[in-house]
Amino acid sequence: MLNGELTAALNDQMVFEISSAYIYLGMAAALERMNLPGCAHWMRIQADEELIHADIFYRYINDNSAAVELQAIPKPEFDSSGVLAVFKGALKHEKIVTSRIDKLAALAMKNNSFATLNFLNFFVTEQVQEEKSVQEIIDQLELAGNSKEALLFIDNKLAARAAATAPAAAATV
């Protein structure tokens, strides 16, 4: 059973995951306007992944007989002045997500909620990969500089990102 403090924090994270999807959807739209459909596709998959994460939190809260509390989703704010700015914004956002997940894990430990700590382990590990993947794209964009050919190559590469699916590990918690 989850206590009130932990339930509230898990609900906040669930809503934050939905908000993250909204941010990535906005980034995808900005990249579409830049005529970078591969980059936009990458961000849409990112948005889908965040909705999957929100669903995992939703199920965990419900599975523990706690109340799911929905909240308002704020309008996404990010720098859309160029493709590099968008991806740097995505990395900044992922670092915020990492910090939030770490705080949730600390809260689970403080409350001796070992099941919640085990549940959050997936997200702790996931965030390492999330930050790494966005950083790799930023590194490639920075190497490309002003080369339109290199940008088109990167865009084409990002178009190959596979659709997001719920991770097997998260389905078992």
Residues flagged as binding site? 17, 50, 53, 94, 127
C-alpha to C-alpha distance for 145 and 42, rounded to whole angstroms: 20
Cβ atoms of residues 9 and 107 within 8 Å: yes
What's the angle, vertex CA 23, arms to CA 17 and CA 24, rounded to 5? Answer: 90
Residue ranges for the known binding site for Fe cation are 17, 50, 53, 94, 127
SS3 content of the chain, % helix, strand, coil (to 5): 75, 0, 25
Residue with tokens 């389905």: 171
DSSP state of 150: H
Residue ranges of alpha helices (H) inside 64-145 are: 83-110, 114-144
What letter represents residue 94's amino acid?
Answer: E
C-alpha to C-alpha distance for 112 and 107, rounded to whole angstroms: 9
